[in-house]
Structure 1
Amino acid sequence: MLFTFKRIDHVQLAAPKGSEEMARAFYSGILGFEEVEKPEVLRARGGVWLRAGENQLHIGIEDPFTPAKKAHPAFEVEKLAELKKHLTKHEVPYLEDDLLPGANRIYAEDPFGNRIELLEWRR
Protein backbone atom coordinates (compact mmCIF):
# COMPACT_ATOMS: atom_id res chain seq x y z
CA MET A 1 0.00 0.00 0.00
CA LEU A 2 1.09 3.54 -0.61
CA PHE A 3 -0.43 4.91 2.59
CA THR A 4 -0.32 4.13 6.30
CA PHE A 5 -2.80 4.68 9.11
CA LYS A 6 -0.88 6.12 12.06
CA ARG A 7 -3.45 6.47 14.86
CA ILE A 8 -6.90 7.72 15.66
CA ASP A 9 -6.72 11.51 15.76
CA HIS A 10 -10.01 11.93 17.64
CA VAL A 11 -13.40 10.39 18.27
CA GLN A 12 -16.55 12.45 17.89
CA LEU A 13 -19.78 12.01 19.79
CA ALA A 14 -22.92 14.01 19.11
CA ALA A 15 -24.90 16.13 21.55
CA PRO A 16 -28.03 18.26 21.28
CA LYS A 17 -27.95 21.95 20.44
CA GLY A 18 -27.01 24.17 23.37
CA SER A 19 -25.46 21.38 25.45
CA GLU A 20 -21.85 22.57 25.58
CA GLU A 21 -21.95 23.42 29.30
CA MET A 22 -23.38 19.98 30.12
CA ALA A 23 -20.57 18.41 28.08
CA ARG A 24 -17.97 20.45 29.95
CA ALA A 25 -19.51 19.59 33.33
CA PHE A 26 -19.44 15.86 32.58
CA TYR A 27 -16.27 15.35 30.56
CA SER A 28 -14.11 17.99 32.27
CA GLY A 29 -15.81 18.33 35.64
CA ILE A 30 -16.42 14.64 36.38
CA LEU A 31 -14.07 12.68 34.09
CA GLY A 32 -11.20 15.17 34.17
CA PHE A 33 -10.77 15.75 30.44
CA GLU A 34 -9.01 19.00 29.50
CA GLU A 35 -10.79 21.32 27.07
CA VAL A 36 -8.97 22.00 23.80
CA GLU A 37 -9.60 25.28 22.04
CA LYS A 38 -11.44 24.80 18.75
CA PRO A 39 -10.12 26.61 15.68
CA GLU A 40 -11.91 29.93 15.14
CA VAL A 41 -13.39 28.81 11.84
CA LEU A 42 -15.17 25.87 13.56
CA ARG A 43 -16.47 27.61 16.69
CA ALA A 44 -19.74 28.76 15.09
CA ARG A 45 -20.78 25.09 14.75
CA GLY A 46 -20.86 24.74 18.53
CA GLY A 47 -19.62 21.73 20.42
CA VAL A 48 -16.60 21.15 22.62
CA TRP A 49 -13.21 19.57 22.01
CA LEU A 50 -11.59 17.69 24.89
CA ARG A 51 -8.43 15.73 25.61
CA ALA A 52 -7.42 13.00 28.07
CA GLY A 53 -3.76 12.12 27.69
CA GLU A 54 -3.16 11.66 23.97
CA ASN A 55 -6.83 11.00 23.23
CA GLN A 56 -9.09 13.68 21.85
CA LEU A 57 -12.85 13.56 22.11
CA HIS A 58 -14.92 16.03 20.10
CA ILE A 59 -18.52 16.70 21.08
CA GLY A 60 -20.34 17.87 17.98
CA ILE A 61 -23.78 19.43 17.85
CA GLU A 62 -26.39 17.47 15.94
CA ASP A 63 -29.92 18.69 15.26
CA PRO A 64 -31.99 16.61 15.39
CA PHE A 65 -29.98 14.64 17.92
CA THR A 66 -29.97 10.89 18.49
CA PRO A 67 -27.56 9.36 21.05
CA ALA A 68 -25.14 6.59 20.07
CA LYS A 69 -26.38 3.57 22.02
CA LYS A 70 -24.20 0.87 20.42
CA ALA A 71 -21.30 2.64 18.69
CA HIS A 72 -18.99 4.07 21.36
CA PRO A 73 -15.48 5.12 22.28
CA ALA A 74 -13.57 2.84 24.66
CA PHE A 75 -11.10 4.52 27.00
CA GLU A 76 -8.40 2.51 28.76
CA VAL A 77 -8.03 3.72 32.34
CA GLU A 78 -5.85 3.02 35.34
CA LYS A 79 -7.52 2.24 38.67
CA LEU A 80 -10.97 1.39 37.35
CA ALA A 81 -12.13 0.60 40.90
CA GLU A 82 -11.39 4.20 41.91
CA LEU A 83 -13.16 5.51 38.82
CA LYS A 84 -16.26 3.49 39.74
CA LYS A 85 -16.26 5.06 43.22
CA HIS A 86 -15.86 8.48 41.62
CA LEU A 87 -18.76 7.89 39.23
CA THR A 88 -20.96 6.68 42.09
CA LYS A 89 -20.09 9.79 44.11
CA HIS A 90 -21.21 11.93 41.17
CA GLU A 91 -24.35 9.85 40.63
CA VAL A 92 -23.24 8.60 37.22
CA PRO A 93 -24.64 5.10 36.77
CA TYR A 94 -22.60 2.41 35.06
CA LEU A 95 -23.00 -1.20 34.03
CA GLU A 96 -20.27 -3.74 34.84
CA ASP A 97 -19.33 -6.19 32.11
CA ASP A 98 -17.04 -9.21 32.49
CA LEU A 99 -17.35 -10.64 28.99
CA LEU A 100 -14.04 -9.37 27.58
CA PRO A 101 -11.25 -11.80 28.59
CA GLY A 102 -8.41 -10.07 30.40
CA ALA A 103 -10.27 -6.83 31.07
CA ASN A 104 -12.29 -5.21 33.81
CA ARG A 105 -14.76 -2.89 32.15
CA ILE A 106 -17.84 -0.83 32.62
CA TYR A 107 -20.23 1.06 30.39
CA ALA A 108 -21.61 4.47 31.26
CA GLU A 109 -23.59 7.09 29.40
CA ASP A 110 -22.76 10.74 29.01
CA PRO A 111 -25.50 13.28 29.84
CA PHE A 112 -26.84 12.91 26.27
CA GLY A 113 -27.21 9.11 26.34
CA ASN A 114 -24.07 8.28 24.33
CA ARG A 115 -22.45 5.01 25.39
CA ILE A 116 -18.89 5.14 26.78
CA GLU A 117 -16.74 2.11 27.58
CA LEU A 118 -14.14 2.39 30.34
CA LEU A 119 -11.76 -0.52 30.73
CA GLU A 120 -8.64 -1.63 32.55
CA TRP A 121 -6.58 -4.51 31.22
CA ARG A 122 -5.47 -7.08 33.79
CA ARG A 123 -1.71 -7.48 33.73
Structure 2
Amino acid sequence: MPATVLTGIVTSAGVMAKTVTMTTYIRHKKYLVHDPENVLSVGEHIQAQACRPLSARKRFTLLQSLGFPAGHGSSHGAISEEERRARNEAALSADQREWMRIEERVRAEARAQRGSRRA
Protein backbone atom coordinates (compact mmCIF):
# COMPACT_ATOMS: atom_id res chain seq x y z
CA MET A 1 0.00 0.00 0.00
CA PRO A 2 1.51 3.38 -1.01
CA ALA A 3 2.15 6.08 1.55
CA THR A 4 -0.57 8.66 2.10
CA VAL A 5 -0.14 11.83 0.03
CA LEU A 6 -2.03 14.98 1.05
CA THR A 7 -2.39 18.29 -0.79
CA GLY A 8 -2.87 21.53 1.10
CA ILE A 9 -1.84 25.12 1.70
CA VAL A 10 0.99 26.31 3.95
CA THR A 11 -0.61 28.36 6.74
CA SER A 12 2.40 28.88 9.00
CA ALA A 13 6.10 29.02 8.11
CA GLY A 14 9.20 30.29 9.86
CA VAL A 15 7.95 29.66 13.39
CA MET A 16 9.72 26.31 13.85
CA ALA A 17 12.94 25.32 12.11
CA LYS A 18 12.36 23.16 9.03
CA THR A 19 8.64 22.79 9.84
CA VAL A 20 5.54 24.31 8.26
CA THR A 21 1.85 23.93 9.09
CA MET A 22 -0.30 22.72 6.21
CA THR A 23 -4.09 23.05 6.11
CA THR A 24 -6.15 20.55 4.11
CA TYR A 25 -9.84 20.34 3.35
CA ILE A 26 -10.25 16.62 3.97
CA ARG A 27 -9.61 14.17 6.81
CA HIS A 28 -8.08 16.47 9.46
CA LYS A 29 -7.56 20.18 9.33
CA LYS A 30 -3.86 20.74 10.05
CA TYR A 31 -0.67 18.73 9.72
CA LEU A 32 2.92 19.58 10.61
CA VAL A 33 5.14 18.93 7.58
CA HIS A 34 8.94 18.57 7.54
CA ASP A 35 10.54 21.09 5.15
CA PRO A 36 14.20 19.94 4.94
CA GLU A 37 15.50 22.95 2.98
CA ASN A 38 13.30 25.44 4.88
CA VAL A 39 12.14 27.05 1.60
CA LEU A 40 8.34 27.13 1.92
CA SER A 41 6.37 30.26 2.69
CA VAL A 42 2.80 30.99 3.71
CA GLY A 43 0.26 30.54 0.91
CA GLU A 44 2.16 27.95 -1.14
CA HIS A 45 0.34 24.84 -2.27
CA ILE A 46 2.26 21.67 -1.39
CA GLN A 47 2.00 17.89 -1.43
CA ALA A 48 3.13 16.02 1.67
CA GLN A 49 3.77 12.30 2.08
CA ALA A 50 3.35 10.24 5.24
CA CYS A 51 6.60 9.09 6.84
CA ARG A 52 7.90 7.77 10.13
CA PRO A 53 7.26 10.04 13.13
CA LEU A 54 9.80 12.86 13.08
CA SER A 55 8.55 14.47 16.30
CA ALA A 56 5.57 14.30 18.64
CA ARG A 57 3.23 15.80 16.00
CA LYS A 58 5.24 15.77 12.74
CA ARG A 59 4.33 12.75 10.60
CA PHE A 60 4.61 14.12 7.05
CA THR A 61 7.48 15.25 4.85
CA LEU A 62 7.42 17.60 1.86
CA LEU A 63 6.90 15.71 -1.40
CA GLN A 64 6.73 18.69 -3.76
CA SER A 65 5.81 22.34 -3.89
CA LEU A 66 3.00 23.14 -6.31
CA GLY A 67 3.70 26.88 -6.22
CA PHE A 68 1.32 29.70 -5.42
CA PRO A 69 -2.27 29.91 -6.62
CA ALA A 70 -3.02 32.34 -9.47
CA GLY A 71 -3.00 35.96 -8.36
CA HIS A 72 -0.82 35.34 -5.29
CA GLY A 73 2.74 36.68 -5.31
CA SER A 74 4.81 36.53 -8.48
CA SER A 75 3.25 35.43 -11.75
CA HIS A 76 5.57 32.52 -12.53
CA GLY A 77 5.39 30.77 -9.13
CA ALA A 78 9.08 31.01 -8.24
CA ILE A 79 9.96 33.75 -5.78
CA SER A 80 13.25 35.30 -4.84
CA GLU A 81 14.91 34.63 -1.50
CA GLU A 82 14.30 38.23 -0.42
CA GLU A 83 10.59 38.06 -1.27
CA ARG A 84 10.20 34.75 0.58
CA ARG A 85 12.00 36.15 3.64
CA ALA A 86 9.84 39.31 3.56
CA ARG A 87 6.63 37.26 3.41
CA ASN A 88 7.70 35.05 6.30
CA GLU A 89 8.75 38.08 8.35
CA ALA A 90 5.41 39.80 7.69
CA ALA A 91 3.63 36.81 9.22
CA LEU A 92 5.63 37.12 12.46
CA SER A 93 4.66 39.16 15.49
CA ALA A 94 6.53 42.35 16.42
CA ASP A 95 8.43 40.55 19.20
CA GLN A 96 9.55 37.80 16.83
CA ARG A 97 10.69 40.36 14.22
CA GLU A 98 12.71 42.23 16.87
CA TRP A 99 14.30 38.97 18.02
CA MET A 100 15.26 38.15 14.41
CA ARG A 101 16.88 41.60 14.00
CA ILE A 102 18.89 41.12 17.20
CA GLU A 103 20.06 37.67 16.06
CA GLU A 104 21.09 39.10 12.68
CA ARG A 105 23.11 41.87 14.38
CA VAL A 106 24.86 39.31 16.61
CA ARG A 107 25.72 37.16 13.57
CA ALA A 108 27.07 40.19 11.68
CA GLU A 109 29.24 41.19 14.65
CA ALA A 110 30.55 37.63 14.97
CA ARG A 111 31.43 37.58 11.25
CA ALA A 112 33.19 40.94 11.60
CA GLN A 113 35.22 39.70 14.59
CA ARG A 114 36.22 36.53 12.73
CA GLY A 115 37.28 38.67 9.76
CA SER A 116 39.39 41.01 11.92
CA ARG A 117 41.19 38.09 13.60
CA ARG A 118 42.21 36.64 10.24
CA ALA A 119 43.59 39.94 8.94
The normalised TM-score by structure 1 is 0.23
Q: Which has the higher contact order (CA 8 A, sep 6+)?
A: 1
The normalised TM-score by structure 2 is 0.24
